[in-house]
RNA sequence: GUGGCUGUAGCUCAGUUGGCAGAGCACCGGGUUGUGGUCCCGGUUGUCGUGGGUUCAAUUCCCAUCAGUCACCCCA
């Protein structure tokens, strides 16, 4: 067998990177639970028609089929696809299990998702999302839209990563405004506005004319709206100053004011109303979120979501929801690439117990057992080589302590300082900071 | 899915106008009859991404493919 090669877009981390990932996941999970979100995992596959129900992502969905399936049925209505986000499976789950759930239902879900995109830095075909959603029956109170950024803000701020800024907008503002100025294709207008950062106002104006049929005056108004940005409710005055009126617009402004003011009270500096944020997914109907790391804006959004009123509905039952999702793999991939996220050692081991000779390995094993029984991650040296080599084994992996069993007295050495002291395996404890690898 | 750039040791890279493949770091051994990191001495490291083609000869030229990256698309 020839040497295996990586598969494009399916990243695999090193053990130290995986330790960081697990640490990050633990923190995110702890924060989600702190806010009372219940855990959920859904299957990896959904019926293809479910996946394609909303949005034009068909090209991205990975189909799944048996090797020996009948040749004529792999793409029928019953075909299965890997989910490409966690919101669509969740909406399906809610419909399927509505009878067993208490509403409003708050859940978190941390799972892999798959998208058949062309990969590049921070963009993968298989990646982890950490998602929270709240759904309710019939109507969903707008204050939930204000809670989302607070939760992920807490989660992200608990991590050793650069500070984040969550940009918030409301689809109703855009759609109401566009309608107010007489534009008929709000989707096309949104898509054009979404490129503002990348291609600049002049090109966006051209795009608006080409794809959304905007006149010069309409394009100018749309751009004026998109350029509004404020960390507080003052954005509302700026919007009204543009002189466009529409009931939907007013509704959107009211909702966004609430989100921004709530955030300003509980997490100053976290959120900013940014009326250019559009979000590609067309199932969003209200508040939308995007998140950037300060100083890493060029990496794009590492956490986004929004409110969806029509994703989960069957017959007369309607379950409006709001959710936001942290792109864990992107976050990590980008920071790994920038060398901005490291761990203090390559293994969980805190203590390496040296082996004096193979005949004495039992004594070392007993020391390790005593340490482990008190929660100290410990391994025994793989060989009874010279102590210098055993110390080096520990050093190479970043293991901070080496334990030397003695005939009468054991000793433990902190190999960073070189300090070596008598110790007893039944009582000795490392300082708290050394117990586990430090992520930073 | 479309187009551009890149691909030499574990890492960062040099190099061959087509003729036995290099440096630094890392790694291994010794200096040190059991205590590492500095220092000194010695050593290993590669199907030159993979598969074809042209050629007496290809790591070098050509084609394809895979991977990485960038733009489009889309988006975490």
**A15-39+99-110+119-337 is classed in which CATH architecture?**
2-Layer Sandwich (3.30)
pLDDT of residue A339: 85
- Cα gap A330→A129, rounded to integer Å: 9
pLDDT average, residue stretch A134-147 = 96
DSSP A333: H
Q: What is the mean pLDDT of residues A431-440?
A: 93
Alpha-helical runs (H) found in A316-431: 328-337, 361-373, 387-397
Taking Cα atoms as reference points, which of A146, A150, A148, A151 lies closest to residue A254?
Answer: A146
Say how far A336 CA is from B13 C1', in Å. Answer: 21
What b/e readout covers A64-86, taking b as 16+ CB neighbours within 10 angstroms? eeeeeeeeeeeeeeebbbbbbbb
Asked if the model's pLDDT at residue A2 lies above 80, the reply is no
What's the CA–C1' distance between A345 and B12, in Å? 23
As a whole-number percent, the residues of chain A with pLDDT over 70 amount to 95
From residues 259-288 of A, list those within 7 angstroms of strand B by Cβ. 279-281
Whether A269 has a pLDDT exceeding 60, the answer reads yes
Q: What tokens appear for A258 in the block?
A: 């609430």
For range A23-31, the mean pLDDT: 97
Q: Where are the domains of chain A?
A: 15-39+99-110+119-337, 351-425
Q: How large is the average pLDDT for residues A397-411?
A: 93
Dihedral sign, Cα of residue A155, residue A161, residue A165, residue A171: negative
Burial class (CB in 10 A: 0-12, 13-18, 19+), A251: middle
Q: Is the CB of A397 under 7 A from strand B?
A: no
Q: Which of residues 17-46 of A touch strand B (CB under 7 A)?
A: none
Q: What integer pLDDT is reported at residue A197 of this predicted model? A: 83
Closest residue, CA to C1' of B75: A280
Tell me the pLDDT band of A251, cut-offs 50, 70 and 90.
very high
Residue nearest to nucleotide B27 (CA to C1'): A396
Nucleotide B14 C1' to residue A338 CA (A): 25
How is residue A25 written in tokens? 């996941």
Other beta carbons within 10 angstroms of residue A149's beta carbon come to 28
Residue pLDDT, tens place only, A105-139? 999 999 999 999 899 999 999 999 999 999 999 99
> Cα–Cα distances in Å, from A169 out to A54, A148, A183, A260, A403?
21, 13, 19, 10, 57
Q: Each residue of A177-191: pLDDT tens digit?
A: 999 999 988 888 888
Domains A15-39+99-110+119-337 and A351-425 share a fold: no
Peptide bond into A104 cis (omega under 30): yes
- A286-302 residue pLDDT tens: 999 999 999 888 888 99
The CATH class that applies to domain A351-425 reads: alpha beta
Q: Is the pLDDT of residue A278 over 60?
A: yes
Beta strand pairing call for A63-64 and A401-404: unpaired
Mean pLDDT throughout A73-82? 69
Provide the pLDDT for residue A187.
83
Q: How far is the CA of A50 from the C1' of B2 (A)?
A: 28
- The beta strand positions in A136-227, using DSSP E, are 164-170
Nearest to A400 by CA among A389, A391, A410: A391
Which residues from 120-139 of A have any strand B atom under 7 Å from their CB? 120-125, 127, 129
C-alpha dist (Å) from residue A311 to A94, A114, A160, A321, A385:
10, 20, 35, 8, 64
Per DSSP, A361 falls in state H
Point out the nucleotide closest to A113 (alpha carbon to C1′).
B76
The whole-number pLDDT of residue A212 equals 86
What is residue A345's three-state secondary structure?
A: coil
Quick: pLDDT tens for A46-56. 998 888 765 55
Those nucleotides of strand B lying less than 7 Å from any protein Cβ are 1-3, 27-29, 32-37, 47, 49-51, 66-76
List, for residues A230-245, the tens digit of each pLDDT value: 999 999 999 999 999 9
Give dist(CA A163, CA A150) in Å, integer.
Answer: 14
Burial class (CB in 10 A: 0-12, 13-18, 19+), A324: buried
Nucleic strand B contacts from chain A, 330-369, CB < 7 Å: 330-331, 337, 356-357
Q: What are phi and psi of A166, to 5 degrees?
A: -100, 120
User: In chain A, what are the helix, strand and coil shares in percent, each to the nearest 5?
Assistant: 40, 20, 40
């Amino acid at each position: 067998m020839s040497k295996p090669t990586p598969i494009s877009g399916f990243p695999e981390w090193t053990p130290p990177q995986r330790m960081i990932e697990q640490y990050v996941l633990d923190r995110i999970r702890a924060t989600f639970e702190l806010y009372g979100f219940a855990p959920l995992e859904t299957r990896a596959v959904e019926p293809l028609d479910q996946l394609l129900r909303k949005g034009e992502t068909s090209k991205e969905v990975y189909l799944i089929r048996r090797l020996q399936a009948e040749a004529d049925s792999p793409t029928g209505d019953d075909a299965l696809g890997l989910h490409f986000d966690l919101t669509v499976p969740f909406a399906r789950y809610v419909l399927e299990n509505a009878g067993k759930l208490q509403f409003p239902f708050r859940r978190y879900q941390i799972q892999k998702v798959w998208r058949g995109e062309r990969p590049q830095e921070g963009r993968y075909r298989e990646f982890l999302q950490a998602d929270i959603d709240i759904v309710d029956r019939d109507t969903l109170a707008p204050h939930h839209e204000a809670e989302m950024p607070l939760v992920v803000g807490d989660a992200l701020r608990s991590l050793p990563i650069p500070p984040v800024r969550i940009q918030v907008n409301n689809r109703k503002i855009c759609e109401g405004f566009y309608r107010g100025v007489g534009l008929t294709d709000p989707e096309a207008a949104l898509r054009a506005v979404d490129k503002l950062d990348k291609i600049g106002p002049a090109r966006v104006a051209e795009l608006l004319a080409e794809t959304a049929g905007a006149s010069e005056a309409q394009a100018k108004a749309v751009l004026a709206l998109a350029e509004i940005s404020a960390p507080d409710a003052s954005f509302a005055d700026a919007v009204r100053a543009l002189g466009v009126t529409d009931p939907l617009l007013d509704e959107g402004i009211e909702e966004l004011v609430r989100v921004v003011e709530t955030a300003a009270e509980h997490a100053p500096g976290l959120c900013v109303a940014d009326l250019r944020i559009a979000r590609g997914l067309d199932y969003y109907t209200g508040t939308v979120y995007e998140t950037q790391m300060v100083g890493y804006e060029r990496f794009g959004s590492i956490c986004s979501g929004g409110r969806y009123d029509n994703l989960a509905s069957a017959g007369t039952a309607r379950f409006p929801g709001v959710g936001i999702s942290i792109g864990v793999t992107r976050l990590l991939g980008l920071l790994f690439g920038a060398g901005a996220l490291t761990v203090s050692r390559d293994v969980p081991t805190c203590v390496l117990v040296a082996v004096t000779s193979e005949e004495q390995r039992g004594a070392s094993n007993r020391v390790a057992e005593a340490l482990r029984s008190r929660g100290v991650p410990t391994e025994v040296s793989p060989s009874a080589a010279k102590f210098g080599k055993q110390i080096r084994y520990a050093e190479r992996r970043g293991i901070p302590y080496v334990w030397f069993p003695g005939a009468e007295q054991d000793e433990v050495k902190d190999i960073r300082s070189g300090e070596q002291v008598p110790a007893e395996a039944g009582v000795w404890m490392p300082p708290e900071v050394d117990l586990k690898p430090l992520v930073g």
